[in-house]
Structure 1
Amino acid sequence: MPQKVSKSGTSPELSYSIDDPSTAAEALSTDTINVTSHLLNVQAREFEIAQGQQELLSVEEIKDRIKLLDHQLQAAHRALFKMSGGALFADEVGLGKTIEVGMVLKEMDFRDTRDSFLILTPAQLAPQWQKELDEKFGLDFVCNYDEDFCGFDAHDKIIASVDTAKSKTNRDDVLSRRWDVAVLDEAHYVRNADTMRYELMDELSYGEAFFATATPIQNDISDLYNIIDLIRPGILGTRQQFDNRYVVDSDDAQIKRSEELQEKLNRVMIRNRREETKIDFTNRNVHTNVFEPSAAETQLYDAVTDYVRSNYSSADARHLVLFTLQKEVVSSPYAVDKTIERWVADKEKALSKRERNALRDIQSIVDDIARTTKQKRLRHIIETIQDQIGTTRAVVFTQFRPTQDAIADSIRGLNLPVHIVNGDLSSKGKERKVAQFKDEGGIMVATDSISEGRNMQFCNVLVNYDLPWNPMKVEQRIGRVDRIGQDREVHVFNMALEGTIEEHVLNKLFGKIDLFNQSIGGLRDILSRMEKSGSDFEREVFEQLRHADSKVELENNFEDMAVDLEQNTKAAEKMNDFNRGVFDGFDFGESV
């Protein structure tokens, strides 16, 4: 049987070998007709076996566990039978890359052709991978968070945080053995060869690799090289050869020899887009609610903003606290109060008498606010959806723990279960809370510790109680409920206070990039161009506020930033046109 050349030696193909038909023929009569007839029978049998071997035999076993979509079955089949050595699953967000990889692993397990499997994921996703592989595919993997996990040298089917695997404690054990199959989720994190994650994967010994990412290209076509080279070393040549042959130096959104590059990528990458599938995604309804703050809330916002502007210096250690205060003041007075309380109590902080007095004045304003405008409006939103939906399941996101506590306290009187999720919970603890939320209904009040990677299609109402200034974080929140398996319209409520930085971000910036109709990949394309130039989006928002001497100047600053965003959007669209030029040439249904 032919052997596959892989990253670290050879490993057997999935298909089985059969005897050379000539061996059987020699035992027969030398009569030409009989020999010919026998050979034809053998060839027919060989074709029949080969056809059977190139079917997904395990589908029958799991048909009652999961409904596999056509594009997912085709992706798994192609990865197994059309690609030698592994594949990059690069479907757009929400199309089920985890399911496609799971189908590949199930088929290997069903055929008993592989023994050792290592799945590496972001920390918060490891338990979810474990649960999905168990419930949907009947695959029993141990997770590094399990009590019975005995180390990377003690199990043959492991799901682990990639950061746990690369730690000093575990790295040697991970690298000391050869894995038949390595899986890497969120593979775009290894596009940079100067990271410890990349170094781990580069040194890891494995026979076949299956990586998953919705954004194989983030800044330019060169991003693909490191990812692909880990899966199929040498297929794109050396990095220098790749750059010389395919990359146009003057424009990273242009390539040379596109047909040749398409052919090579088609051997190792599978990419489906939403519009290419037969999935009927539900509508996303966005409700933007800008509320007039109370007089005390306006006074608090102005006091905090004045304090931040007067005392901020990027060279001073306090700049992080001031940055946080500006974000907290539109979230809740309780978040502001808690930060000031810690700041003043820290005796190592050299606060002047003037600063301490200013902070105490801010706290006195907080003391005069019994119940916030957002608390009142949130209750109204929940009461409304409770009347319309009946069994209510809504998730309310906030960035700050004191705000989370205040939200929970204000809605407990609505006779609905309230579920609290934040960074104090382990990955397993968060998994249990999500399951409880699904079973009991009610309201989940969550911080962004749960905003990425969790599946909550059973919930179709999401409230952004406060808005992260980074639109990627907003879309990551929405992505928890707006994904495959969501069978109801999704309702997103955005809450903002009039006349605050939050309103400017919502209307001026998010409006310019049409945030709520963007895919997460599109947002990443837009923002990566700003980050590539050395600018951080949230920091830039803050700087616009800090430098404005008047309301008019502030509006002008945000207008300028909006223009930059529009330019980034056009550049991202150009990159997407380039992506389509590369990806749309793929013939996913044929052997290459």
Structure 2
Amino acid sequence: MSTKYHAKYYATELSLQRASDSIENLTSSLSNAKVDLNPHQIDAALFALKSPIANGVLLADEVGLGKTIEAGIVISQKWAERKRRILLILPSSLRKQWHQELLEKFFINSIVLESKSYNEMKRKGFLNPFDIKNNAVICSYHFASKKKDEIKKVKWDMVVIDEAHRLRNVYKPSNKIANNIKEAIQPYPKLLLTATPLQNSLMELYGLVSIIDKYAFGDKKTFSEQYIRNGSEEIRNHLLKKRLAPFCKRTLRKQVTEYVPYTNRISLVQEYYPTNQEWQLYENVSSYLRKDRLFALPVRQRHLMTLILRKLLSSSSFAITSTLESLLQRLDDLLEAKETKNDIDNTLYEEYDTLEELQDEWDEDEQTSEEYVISDPEVRKLIEDEKKELLSYIELAKSIEKNTKGNHLLTALKEGFKYGQQQGALEKAVIFTESRRTQEYLYELLVNNGYENEVVLINGSNSDKQSKEIYNTWTDNNKNSESITGSRTADMKAAIVEEFRNSAKILIATEAAAEGINLQFCSLVVNYDLPWNPQRIEQRIGRCHRYGQKNDVVVINFVNKRNEADQKVYELLSAKFKLFDGIFGASDEVLGSLESGVDFEKRIAAIYQNCRTTEEIQQAFSQMQAELEEEIDKTLKQAKVNLLENFDEEVHEKLKIQKERTDENLSRYQEWMLKLAQAELGNEIKITNDRTRFFYNGNLFQKGYYDFNWKRAEQSKSIFFRSDGQLINSLIEKALNRDLPIGVLELDYSNYKPQKGKITFLENLSSKSGWLSVDKLTVESFEKEERLLFYAVTDAGEVIDEELSNKLLDFDGYEQESEMINHLYPEKMIENRKKELVQKHKTEIDAKNAKYFDEEIEKLEAWADDLKDGLEKEIKELDAQIKLLKKDARNCTSFEEKLQMQKQIKELEKKRNNKRRSLYEEQDQIDEQKEELIFSMEEKIKKKETISNVLCIRWRLN
């Protein structure tokens, strides 16, 4: 059994703050996460945490390798260290996904800040909603740019930027959003995530690295001179790769296939021909949307509303009807002189539940106000005519009782399920639509055609009766469980997904559901409505086609054969973006070529709006494809290989070693947790033979099984025994706060069953009893690091080395009466050993800090040299220009031209001479700035050391 001395030792080990670059430092976070750990992700997290004084890194793994998990591990580690001011800047479409993943996988609370939540917090009295405790803060690029001043005021422990390639043109002053974000987060540690750090120019790498650390390179002109105009590509790549090495890490899919297997994507197309009525509705509304002036659409939002109306029109007649009715209501309001809103009507918010995200990234071109007078008879006549037109469309839409596209869904599902059955997949399908009204229609269609009690819905609100019943049942079943987060949105999603996994066959999802849910158990994806944003399509398919999927994923897309533009959109997404076939879907290069998926949607929308004939549509899409090919082909693939990819033969072996080390540390850490529980709870717990779970039958905590395996815990409805759970935290606190006298322990070595055999040294000791003292050394410098120091000696005066002294507390033991201390404490021997070990560990920590310091000095030296070289090159350039002008002047025959050239020469000589005079002064200023930076680091390196005793025991081996 374990004693209270063992308990204090285990609790101390579990709570130690270890070096940031060690795998031991991550172990607590890893044992607290509900993720499948892969060695390349551990490697990436360690890279991001490798230096406590670095300003951040760029993780550039190929798509599909789990950069979100890597970032989650890093955030989790910061969280464990109580560094909880964390900001995440993301594309708006990823905000909910990150919020969900942080909560579900890492038990980290976060808030999503956008206009509504920001203003609500302001009303509640928050001076700065970004400055909130014990919550990570999530916001979009646009929102971060708008609120840069508030962001600046918070001292962030870490800033995470996902899809960071959106900021790669930050070196251009015209890129306002990127520059605002860079300015707002400049002083703080950063973690940038992107699969495509380099797309069109090496300057993009300069831009991204400058966001991380403004002292990484000199100015952009110097960078261009050194690495773009440099004549020797081989020399350039060698130098640049060396400079990038501390900042950038990229893992390739082929390097990790042993750990991350992927299945295929299979594409099926469901073609359909709309009826004449359906096609007439489409043509009529399309013509209406093309009119130069529409009173029903606010001028400042016309482009955005037109895009949404076209999407709803393509979805179903049911989707467009209510929206047309809301437009009709707007015209009535105008005629009755009621106040009309300039923002999107509430109907659209209810109908299209990613509208807010789309608005967040949508910048309208038109900023004009609506200039007309309602009382003007001509204006009223125009509005009345528009009303009549809308009424006719509404009547036509309502007369369409069945949608051809919907009927073809039944056929598509049969084909998809048939393919899945052939490969042994579960009969499950997720159907995506962009309209809630279409979602309701499809639900009724499926329920009435053989799928009764087999269909569930997921959308932005899930306010329907069925969803509420599923939610209530789920919350009852998970009462007092950590599965319940307290967020109704998150819990509703969890309940619906569980219902889909356990009972239902079909999940009908609006776009909101494409974010933040994992459906690896489902292998049939139906794009009933096909988004025009390739990144959103990839996100949809990625819900199912991801790590953990065991079957090929079938992707079914609907194509309207009467609509030339729809066909061209599908061809573009399929052939150029390669979204629907292959092992990994869209390539990094292709998706990364898009500055924004919303911009791409705008280009598509413009074609629908401006092209009427088949020829015009074909020509417009051909031109768009040519432009895309140019953008994609411009990618510097070879440069990416040379600069970012590591084909070192040792990579595979390194990852293998990383996995072994991670498994070993996790095993040891979890064994400490288990032994602490055993020591503190005694007979209240019963441990299983494999020591991976135990049953708790006490009264202080939730009764039931506690399991280290989070997957098994979920499946068996037991409790995930994680390192930051309520039970273990309580036990650690109790053990650490216990004052212990000198103890006498009988250690049971005879029943010790190590993996690597008996310990020969201990067996050969001439004396099987002695003393053990354990101290905690705390060193605060660049970071706080704690180490346990073990001093053990036998009664015969034999000194036991540090590693074996540590082993003594691995043996179970029994406390004896203190009167049995019959041997004096060897204070002098222990003190000598203590001085020796303290000095050894301080030397190791000093060496590590010196390494961090040297790396920063090397970076600053290179930065200063860049700037100095740039100044000298400017003088050389001026010399070359002067020389060329003098040559031209000699060859010039006209006296007036000679005079003009002489004036130019004198101006350049004056400029060059001034540069020469100021060269040393400017170089001195650079050196002064460098020295100031070095001095600030020297201040941080000053050490504070403390030593405290953890326990002291008299021991005897039996």
After TM superposition, the score normalised by the length of structure 1 is 0.75
Which residues of 2 match residues 86-235 of structure 1 at below 5 A? 86-107=56-77, 112=81, 115-122=83-90, 125=94, 128-129=97-98, 132-133=101-102, 136-137=105-106, 140-143=108-111, 153=131, 155=133, 158-161=136-139, 166=144, 172=150, 174-191=151-168, 193=170, 194-195=175-176, 198-200=179-181, 202-204=183-185, 208-235=189-216
Counterpart pick for 1:262 among 237, 241, 250: 241
Q: Quick check: 1:422–1:446 contact (8 Å CA) kept in 2?
A: no
Cα distance per residue 1:258-287 (max 9 Å; x no partner): 221111111111111222322221111111
Name the stretch that deviates more: 78-87 or 401-410. 78-87
Q: Please say if 1:395 is aligned against 2:433.
A: no
1:21 paired residue number? none
Q: Please say if 1:81 is aligned against 2:60.
A: no
Letter in 2 for 1:519: A
SS at 1:155's partner residue? coil
Q: Please say if 1:521 is aligned against 2:588.
A: yes
- Structure 2 CA distance for partners of 1:211 and 1:559, relative to 1, 3 Å: closer
Q: Quick check: 2:109–2:135 contact (8 Å CA) kept in 1?
A: yes
- Structure 2 CA distance for partners of 1:196 and 1:300, relative to 1, 3 Å: closer
SS at 1:245's partner residue? helix
1:15 paired residue number? 19
Partners in 1 of 2:186 and 2:601 — Cα distance?
39
Counterpart pick for 1:341 among 287, 300, 325: 325
Distance apart, 1:60 and its partner CA: 7.4
Letter in 2 for 1:438: V
1:374 paired residue number? 405
2:10 paired residue number? none
- Structure 2 CA distance for partners of 1:255 and 1:525, relative to 1, 3 Å: farther
Letter in 2 for 1:158: A
Letter in 2 for 1:492: V
Q: Which structure 1 residue ranges, 5 or more long, are not aligned?
A: 1-12, 17-52
- Structure 2 CA distance for partners of 1:520 and 1:121, relative to 1, 3 Å: farther
Counterpart pick for 1:304 among 282, 285, 290: 285
Distance apart, 1:242 and its partner CA: 2.3
Cα distance per residue 1:46-89 (max 9 Å; x no partner): xxxxxxx7334543774595431121122223333379613211
Letter in 1 for 2:541: I
RMSD: 4.3
Partners in 2 of 1:134 and 1:497 — Cα distance?
40
Distance apart, 1:454 and its partner CA: 4.6
Distance apart, 1:355 and its partner CA: 4.0
Q: Quick check: 1:182–1:206 contact (8 Å CA) kept in 2?
A: no
SS at 2:441's partner residue? helix
Partners in 1 of 2:87 and 2:322 — Cα distance?
40
SS at 1:211's partner residue? strand
- Structure 2 CA distance for partners of 1:335 and 1:189, relative to 1, 3 Å: same
- Structure 2 CA distance for partners of 1:175 and 1:375, relative to 1, 3 Å: same
Name the stretch that deviates more: 179-188 or 260-269. 179-188
1:406 paired residue number? 441
Letter in 1 for 2:520: Q
- Whichever of the two has the greater Rg, that structure is 2
Partners in 1 of 2:405 and 2:518 — Cα distance?
27
SS at 1:183's partner residue? strand
Partners in 2 of 1:184 and 1:220 — Cα distance?
21
Counterpart pick for 2:493 among 404, 421, 434: 434
Partners in 2 of 1:275 and 1:312 — Cα distance?
55
Q: Please say if 1:498 is aligned against 2:561.
A: yes
Partners in 2 of 1:546 and 1:102 — Cα distance?
42
Distance apart, 1:464 and its partner CA: 1.0
1:38 paired residue number? none
- Structure 2 CA distance for partners of 1:513 and 1:188, relative to 1, 3 Å: closer
Q: Please say if 1:578 is aligned against 2:639.
A: yes
Counterpart pick for 1:68 among 29, 37, 46: 37
Distance apart, 1:463 and its partner CA: 1.3
Letter in 1 for 2:511: D
Q: Quick check: 2:145–2:178 contact (8 Å CA) kept in 1?
A: no
Partners in 1 of 2:461 and 2:229 — Cα distance?
44
- Structure 2 CA distance for partners of 1:543 and 1:133, relative to 1, 3 Å: closer
Name the stretch that deviates more: 329-338 or 194-203. 194-203
Query: Whose relative contact order is higher, 1 or 2, with alpha carbons under 8 Å and at least 6 apart?
Result: 2
Q: Quick check: 1:337–1:363 contact (8 Å CA) kept in 2?
A: yes
Distance apart, 1:494 and its partner CA: 0.4
Letter in 1 for 2:460: N
Cα distance per residue 1:156-176 (max 9 Å; x no partner): 56343357984988954x544
- Structure 2 CA distance for partners of 1:222 and 1:337, relative to 1, 3 Å: same
- Structure 2 CA distance for partners of 1:105 and 1:334, relative to 1, 3 Å: closer
2:251 paired residue number? 272
Letter in 2 for 1:54: S
Q: Quick check: 1:329–1:335 contact (8 Å CA) kept in 2?
A: yes
Partners in 1 of 2:411 and 2:288 — Cα distance?
33
Which residues of 2 match residues 519-558 of structure 1 at below 5 A? 519=586, 521-528=588-595, 536-548=599-611, 550-558=613-621
SS at 1:299's partner residue? helix
Q: Quick check: 1:87–1:210 contact (8 Å CA) kept in 2?
A: yes
- Structure 2 CA distance for partners of 1:153 and 1:506, relative to 1, 3 Å: closer
Q: Which structure 2 residue ranges, 5 or more long, are not aligned?
A: 1-16, 336-378, 464-485, 655-850, 856-958
Letter in 1 for 2:219: T
Q: Quick check: 1:285–1:492 contact (8 Å CA) kept in 2?
A: yes
Distance apart, 1:495 and its partner CA: 0.9
Counterpart pick for 1:59 among 22, 27, 36: 27
- Structure 2 CA distance for partners of 1:109 and 1:322, relative to 1, 3 Å: closer
Partners in 2 of 1:75 and 1:360 — Cα distance?
59
SS at 1:91's partner residue? coil
Cα distance per residue 1:439-463 (max 9 Å; x no partner): 1113333333343565433432221
Q: Quick check: 2:199–2:593 contact (8 Å CA) kept in 1?
A: no
Partners in 1 of 2:224 and 2:147 — Cα distance?
37
Name the stretch that deviates more: 186-195 or 460-469. 186-195
Which residues of 2 match residues 323-362 of structure 1 at below 5 A? 323-347=307-331, 348=334, 351-352=382-383, 354-362=385-393
Q: Please say if 1:288 is aligned against 2:272.
A: no
Distance apart, 1:237 and its partner CA: 2.1
SS at 2:19's partner residue? coil
Cα distance per residue 1:421-476 (max 9 Å; x no partner): 13799x95553343123211133333333435654334322211122233333223
Counterpart pick for 2:526 among 463, 467, 471: 463
Partners in 2 of 1:219 and 1:454 — Cα distance?
33
Partners in 1 of 2:538 and 2:153 — Cα distance?
39
Instruction: Report the number of matched residues.
Output: 531
Partners in 2 of 1:197 and 1:429 — Cα distance?
34
